[in-house]
Structure 1
């Protein structure tokens, strides 16, 4: 073994920055392999060397006395390593091999460790096992719930949750509605109203058939909760639309719901007939009753559409018929204003009188069309008159062309060519719908498009003067497109495409011949400010 005043280090790797890092046996062995001479350093001599190096780096003048002393003492720095130090190095090297083999032994032994029984959350009800049911003792400690459920293991592999069943979504939606509806409508935020609308969609509530989907969030803002703390209390369904959140009810009359299109005289005759056995029918959680349109000539406290609570603490979600009526009037006025603003942005309708604009806006409907959908097909009648509120559409025309094959032969092919674009405020289909003419082009959405449309059925409801005004104000959208224009446009687009293709081929050939590698060398992107600062700091460290 070496004395405490010396440190076993290779001479060629001695440095004042690496003394601490080379103190471990692993680094000693690694560095000793790359060294040409192995030596023992004396700490007293080493301190003088470090002192001289610091003086040289600081720019101080080294006295001649210290220089001569260094030349005299430097040979004493080297000492032959005796056999004992060589044995220490071999022992250290052998210990490294032992560590690697020990790691392998430990990894093999981990396989033989006893398995633990993890506690897993059971998200879905397991199916009934038709085989023999074993007790926990007979199953053993290695039994894991969902052991043979492939969906469970796939969710663990991808670190995701098992998809919830409809019953779980239904229960979660009911819990959210009960907690959110406890807040008064004027105290709820827009986000909370949105959560109420999402809960109704998740549970696939029957209310969605009676509510406008476009204004579902606005309708959620007027929803309230009614709580009936006692049994055998009457709930008057003519006051609004209800959905059961907790408890059960029995109907007093049938039917229990009324749509806007229902015939009142046939379904709800006077006097209101009552059920002989109300307990024969039961309204449970998630069921709906009542109406959004109050029955004419009936009191709001009439027995029609009414229910009787069967237990205390019944909770109901209520959308008042009067509040819904006032809300729809406000939304209709706002919607009418949006349609008028859209008509004024369209050049064909900008100079129309206000009376005609109001009439045509009253029959307009909103339509959302995704990207890539064909709205109008060439050589067919347009399905409606459309005005683009947002998004863009492309107009295509099919032309007959001659295509040159690689063999030099030519063949006839049909090709679709873009002849124009429809943006915000553009309209189409007026002449085709009114006169029943075939469309001269196809219209395809290039982005998601929001349209205001007028169907042929709605057009018949308009005043004949307004219909003639529509016909006189509009011309074919792409009436300037004829065979001569198509020929010139096709030649221009094909020439441009061939030029770009030829230019690209020349550039690629130059790159290959010049052995240019885009993205490297002088063709690389200039470094950003952050990269320049990082490179500068690296140079300063060196």
Structure 2
């Protein structure tokens, strides 16, 4: 680096130590001012040339000491930023509380807010939900064929939030029905009878009608004065000359947004059903209707798909592969789906089963009873009944035909190995089948694992016992041999990757 490029303070320091005259200051190039240097102190050091140019050693030493002492003062030191003392801050309020607080002064004098609340409408601070709900209403006013996929999904997501629908319909069924629903507009004073579907109030206020029986000779004047005073719209049934049945709007019960009346099934014939299935509009209302006919079509479609699945399942079972199609459809008419958990005993040995099963998924384990001997202490034995595993029933197999039709006890025990889904036909329905079908079932079906004899079960049991005794003998002999030679598994050349240390190796001392 050339000498002219060095700062003035460093040149002065070099002159004071080595007694070298400094170059003229005009040869030093101009530097940009720095925010970390005190230029006043720097100028004071640079103007001490008389002391620096002297060649006396004592003066050089004094100049050097003075320079070293004042050198740190040319740098500006920033004050350290101390940490702030934490102060208690009030708990932050939620956005809804702040928004509600802002709107309180306006709401106190805004009558529109109270009218909305009285008629079941949204509040002012529910703008987001109101916008979404208004979009939902606009979509429902369109014909289903004119709606886009996004609009169909919007309707589906809104209907899933209604508990009355979510409890009766699955998501798949609700998705199908959401593509066919529309809204109906009813003016004030109209009467809606919900006998042909499920109705959901989306906008406005209504009251259900209640049944009142009036004695025409006693309290007719009081009832008629009440009707005239309140201005009720009512229906009357005058079949009995002494009594009149009047349907009046309820004074206590109000129905507003998301309330439902009617039913997807046939209307109930009870008094409560009549009251809830007939309402009177107190305002212009928007009502969503799900027709009973659409729900019935959906149920029929589901039943048809289940029947097709049952037909395919029965056809794939070995005993029914060559059956006529009409006979299989007769079996499907009495069939129903059922799911059994793992470990469930379907039938015990020596009992008559109560149904015929066709396994669709999962498997069942087959066990046979056998009398075995158990060794006790003091060279004694005891006879005990044991279950011997003989095989399993896999998918697309059937069982129970011979036991139900001939009322013969099962010779084995059937236990589900995992969750099993199957089609079953109960014994009472089996007896209602055509005699030709029952005879055909007896000829084609066979007893479940009926080919097994008692000798086969004994041999299987003996084989299992021998395998168990051999494993026990092998383990004892191997352990005795290793212990005799002083070999411990896990030490030396033996390496066993145990998850836990065996109890006999804990807290042991091994010496070599």
Distance in 2 separating the partners of 1:241 and 1:345: 41
User: Matched residue of 1:479: which SS?
Assistant: coil
1:249 and 2:249 matched: no
RMSD, aligned CA: 4.5
Aligned to 1:517: 490
Asked if 1:385 is matched to 2:367, the reply is no
Aligned to 1:290: 262
Residue equivalent to 2:79: none
Q: CA deviation at 1:322?
A: 2.2
TM-score (norm 1): 0.51
Structure 1 residues 114-513: aligned runs within 5 Å: 187=149, 203=163, 205=164, 208=167, 217-223=172-178, 224=181, 226=183, 228=185, 231-243=188-200, 249-252=206-209, 275-280=246-251, 282-283=254-255, 288-292=260-264, 305-312=277-284, 316=288, 318-506=289-477, 513=486
1-structure distance, mates of 2:479, 2:202 = 69
1:493 is displaced (CA, Å) by: 1.3
Specify whether residues 398 and 195 from structure 1 end up closer, same or farther in structure 2 by C-alpha distance, changes over 3 A only: farther
Distance, in Å, in 2 between the alignment partners of 1:361 and 1:304 is 38
Contact 2:261 2:276 survives alignment (8 Å): no
Residue aligned with 1:419, SS: strand
Which secondary structure state, in structure 1, belongs to the residue aligned with residue 452 of structure 2? Answer: coil
Q: Secondary structure at the match of 1:242?
A: strand
For the pair shown, which has the larger CA radius of gyration, 1 or 2? 2
Q: CA deviation at 1:294?
A: 6.6
Unaligned runs of 5+ residues in structure 1 are: 1-112, 122-173, 256-268, 296-302, 526-542
Q: Secondary structure at the match of 2:436?
A: helix
Contact 2:363/2:393, CA 8 A, preserved across alignment: yes
> Are the structure 2 counterparts of residues 289 and 313 from structure 1 closer, same or farther at C-alpha, using a change threshold of 3 Å?
closer
Q: d(CA) in 1 for partners of 2:468 and 2:151?
A: 55
1:207–1:288 contact (8 Å) kept in structure 2:
no
* Aligned partners of 1:196 and 1:220 also within 8 Å: no
Change (3 A) 1:407 1:120: farther
CA shift for structure 1 position 382: 1.0
Alpha-carbon distance between aligned partners in 2 of 1:336 and 1:390, rounded to the nearest angstrom: 17
Give 1:434 deviation, angstroms: 1.7
In structure 2, relative to structure 1, the CA distance for the partners of 1:443 and 1:449 (3 Å cut) is same
**Is contact 1:386-1:451 (8 Å) kept?**
yes
Contact in 1 for aligned 2:198/2:292 (Cα 8 Å)? yes
SS of the residue aligned with 1:425? coil
Contact 2:363 2:394 in 1 (8 A): yes
Provide the rounded CA distance (Å) in 2 between the counterparts of 1:274 and 1:120: 56
- 1:450 and 1:254, CA in 2 relative to 1: closer, same or farther beyond 3 A? farther
Whole-Å separation in 2 of the counterparts to 1:521 and 1:196: 69
Answer yes or no: is the 8 Å Cα contact 1:382–1:439 preserved in 2. Answer: yes
Q: 1:253, 1:305 within 8 Å by CA — same for their partners in 2?
A: no
Q: 1:282 to 1:468 in 2, by over 3 A?
A: farther
Change in 2 beyond 3 A, CA 1:249/1:466:
farther
Asked if structure 1 preserves the Cα contact closer than 8 Å seen for 2:360 and 2:420, the reply is: yes
Cα deviation 1:282-333 (Å, max 9, x = unaligned): 55677643243578xxxxxxx99443333455554x4322222222232222
**226-235 or 469-478, which deviates more:** 226-235
Query: Using the alignment, how far apart are the partners of 1:305 and 1:380 within structure 2?
Result: 50
- Please state how far the C-alpha of 1:118 moved relative to its aligned partner: 5.7
* Structure 2 SS opposite 1:361: helix
Q: Distance in 2 between matches of 1:341 and 1:366?
A: 14
Q: Is the 8 A contact 2:209 2:250 kept in 1?
A: no
Tell me the residue number matched to 1:83. Answer: none
Q: Distance in 2 between matches of 1:285 and 1:326?
A: 28
Work out whether residues 334 and 425 of structure 2, in 8 Å CA contact, stay in contact via their aligned partners in 1. yes
Any unmatched runs of 5+ in structure 2?
1-85, 95-128, 213-236, 268-274, 498-512
Matches within 5 A, 1:26-41: none
